[in-house]
Structure 1
Amino acid sequence: MTLTTQFLAMAVMIAGGIYLGAAMDTLKRFEKLYRKRTLMNYTIVISFWLLQAFILFFLLYQVNYGELRLYIFLSVLCGYAAYRALFQGIYVRILERMIHMTMAMVRFFLRCFEILILKPIIWLWNVASAIVLWVSSILLAGSILMLRVIWWPVRQMLRLLWKLLPKNMKKYLHTLAGFCVTIKNTLINLSDLWKR
């Protein structure tokens, strides 16, 4: 391995150490979202470290085909120390601002969605429901009134026909009605026995 490759590997690993420090602070910032859930906590932490190891090894592979030397680990450690000493405060402030900006944008878009889409849909639904109920009540009232108007002459005609019927016919109709009621009661009793 040439000296240039070694210096390049050291520089990349120092940058990787700085990145690793920033990634750890990012993970720590969101720790409260998953800390209380033990299984999720272990899954996220293990996945995080596997991903960081893969990224650092991928960077190293691009530079020197993945040859590991002691100075590689020292370079990562130096990069991490440089991050902690020089960049951590700046990065944490930038991260907090980005989180606040993202949350503000999410709240803004949710509010816009609520005002421009959700509330008009709810309002239209309420108006349509009120119109349907109003029309239904008018139709129902009209139908009841119409039935009453139609029923009155029909009732009068039936009374008149009943008076005009001969006594034998009236007696026969009474008997027929009694027979129908008996059949109905028998069927009801059979149905009750079947249900038991």
Structure 2
Amino acid sequence: MTLHVQFQTIFMMVLSGIAMGAMFDVFRVLSGKLRLPRWTVSIVDILYWIVATILVFRLLIYSNEGQLRVFVFLGIGIGICFYFALLSVWVIRLTLLVIRIIIMIYRILRRTVELLIIKPIIGLYRLTVIILGFLVAVAIFLYKIVLQLLYPVWRLLLWMTKPLHKYFVVPAWLRKLSGKIVAIYRWLFSK
């Protein structure tokens, strides 16, 4: 292994240590902001270590074909120490800023959808209910007027055809219909 490869490996491991620290802070801030249940903490830890392991070994394979030496661990340790000494505060602030921006965008989108889609649909529904209610009221009103106008004509027709009942047999359905019309008229206009 040449000196160039060793320096490249140490540099990659320092970068992987910085990346591991940044991932740790991001996971920590996200789990705090999302208020995850206690049982998910171990799942998040396992995910962190899986991602960190894949990252370290991918960089190790890239830099020196996967040879594991003492300076690999030294590079990771230096990267983690460097990160927590100088960069941790900035990554946490950046993560919180990104979370606030995402929440703000979500609220703007939700409000936009509410104003442009949901409120017009609710307004249209209410307008439809009002119009249908008005039309039903007008229809009932006209129905009562038509019944009031036709009732005397119906009574006159019954009175005029009464002498003919001696000579003709009135069908039972017509007598029932006549009785129902009279009952509906009395029910509607007795109130």
Could you say which TM-score interval applies, normalised by the shorter chain?
0.7 to 0.9
- SS of equivalent residue, structure 2 residue 37: coil
Q: What's the CA shift string for 1:147-195, capped at 9, x where partnerless? A: 332343123312332344229969x97xxx9xxxxxxxxxxxxxxxxxx
Q: Is contact 1:34-1:41 (8 Å) kept?
A: no
Find the counterpart in structure 2 of residue 86 from structure 1: 86
Q: How high is the sequence identity, in percent, across the aligned residues?
A: 26
Counterpart of 2:60, as a letter, is L
1:37–1:131 distance in 2 versus 1, CA, 3 Å = farther
Aligned pairs for 1:4-153 (under 5 A) are 4-32=4-32, 33=34, 35-38=36-39, 40-153=40-153
1:65–1:150 distance in 2 versus 1, CA, 3 Å = farther
Q: What's the CA shift string for 1:86-126, capped at 9, x where partnerless? A: 11112212222222222122212222222222222222221
Distance in 2 (alpha carbons) for counterparts of 1:27 and 1:82: 19
1:143–1:66 distance in 2 versus 1, CA, 3 Å = farther
Query: So what's the TM-score if we normalise by structure 1?
Result: 0.76
Counterpart of 1:2, as a letter, is T
Find the counterpart in structure 2 of residue 182 from structure 1: none
- SS of equivalent residue, structure 1 residue 165: helix
Distance in 1 (alpha carbons) for counterparts of 2:160 and 2:140: 30
Q: What's the CA shift string for 1:29-82, capped at 9, x where partnerless? A: 1223354251x3333321222122112211222222222222112211110110
Distance in 2 (alpha carbons) for counterparts of 1:46 and 1:159: 95
Q: Is contact 2:27-2:44 (8 Å) kept?
A: no
1:147–1:59 distance in 2 versus 1, CA, 3 Å = farther
Query: So what's the TM-score if we normalise by structure 2?
Result: 0.78
Task: After TM superposition, give the deviation of residue 27 of structure 1 in Å.
Answer: 0.7
The count of corresponding residues between Structure 1 and Structure 2 is 173
1:61–1:147 distance in 2 versus 1, CA, 3 Å = farther
- SS of equivalent residue, structure 1 residue 132: helix
Find the counterpart in structure 1 of residue 187 from structure 2: none
- SS of equivalent residue, structure 2 residue 66: coil
Counterpart of 1:103, as a letter, is I
Distance in 1 (alpha carbons) for counterparts of 2:104 and 2:36: 24
Which segments of 5 or more consecutive residues in structure 2 lack a partner in the other structure?
A: 177-191
Aligned pairs for 1:162-173 (under 5 A) are 162-166=162-166
Structure 1 vs Structure 2 CA RMSD: 2.6
Which segments of 5 or more consecutive residues in structure 1 lack a partner in the other structure?
A: 178-196
Counterpart of 2:29, as a letter, is R
